[in-house]
Amino acid sequence: MTDFLSLAEDIAREAGDMLLAKRPTMSREIETKSSPTDVVTALDKASEELIRERVLAARPGDRILGEEGGEDPGDSDVRWVVDPIDGTVNFLYGLPEWAVSIAVEVKGEVVAGVVNVPARGEVYTAALGRGAWLGDTRLRCNTGVPLDRALVATGFGYSATRRAVQGEVVAKVLTRVRDIRRGGSCAIDLCSLAAGRVDAYYERGINPWDYAAAGLVATEAGARLGGLHGRPVSPSFAVCAAPGLFEQLHDLLASLDPERDA
């Protein structure tokens, strides 16, 4: 597990350094994916290529699932789940909230996760059963926060119809909590929760590459991460908070039927 974590950390640092160095002179040309607002830059692709090359050089035969390149076939029990830039829109605009996220799963369970936030100089790491860390500092999420004092992070998808429902839901949540934050990177939101910078997080429509590594950081910091009605976290829905707040936020969200898209 330690070997997986140190390899993932080395690779996430190398990709982050490359992105920081190349961003100032990057091409402004962008491609779009699921909608005109869902962008991908040449550097998303370059970062994923670098990560794939480094993983396969060290561990030929492992499988890789990446946001830009999809899933490599293979029969290994080990799968790397990679977001080469989480928070691509922030990256494009020069905002610091973007991250390189790398998780390692063994037989479907995430055992190691790294979220490198290069523009902030922060690297979050976690290994299953061994805690979550920001550099050398052990992380613990906030506990004992009631829903009406909770600072809640969330995000929105790229489709306009999904966003209409997400807007409806967040309007209701906003009246019941301390405040809402929309940072623009799911991976950073979950790491911020682990570090006590927000109390809770929820979102519909995030993908395994967004949450695999940071989900382990959050749970190793004491948070509960799941879907609605006892289901595991999935692209359908994610809720994360310390036990107690998790249930309160879950029940509020469940009453708003947030898994619909229209």
Please report whether residue 83 would count as binding ligand IPD according to CB under 6 A. yes
Under 8 Å CB-to-CB from 111, ≥6 apart: which residues? 1, 4, 104, 105, 127, 128, 216
Whether 71 contacts 64, CB under 8 Å = yes
Q: Is 3 helix (H, G, I), strand (E, B) or coil?
A: helix
* Nearest residue to the partner ligand IPD, using Cβ: 155
Please report whether residue 118 would count as binding ligand IPD according to CB under 6 A. no
Please report whether residue 88 would count as binding ligand IPD according to CB under 6 A. yes
Please report whether residue 72 would count as binding ligand IPD according to CB under 6 A. no
Among 48, 86, 199, 220, binds ligand IPD (CB under 6 A): 86
- CA 112, CA 183: separation in Å to the nearest integer? 24
Stretch that binds ligand IPD, among 48-56, 110-118, 134-142, 178-186 (CB under 6 A): 178-186
Please report whether residue 155 would count as binding ligand IPD according to CB under 6 A. yes
Q: Is 121 helix (H, G, I), strand (E, B) or coil?
A: coil
**Least distance from ligand IPD to the Cβ atom of residue 87, Å:** 5
Please report whether residue 156 would count as binding ligand IPD according to CB under 6 A. yes
Q: At which residue do the structure tokens 């561990």 appear?
A: 59
Nearer to ligand IPD, 76 or 156 (CB): 156
Nearer to ligand IPD, 76 or 236 (CB): 236
Residues in the chain, overall count: 262
Beta bridge partners of 86: 99
Among 81, 127, 186, 198, binds ligand IPD (CB under 6 A): 186
- Here the tokens at position 2 are 């330690």
For residue 10, which phi and psi values (nearest 5 degrees)?
-60, -45
**Contact set with ligand IPD (CB under 6 A):** 67, 83, 86-88, 155-157, 184-186, 203, 205-206, 210
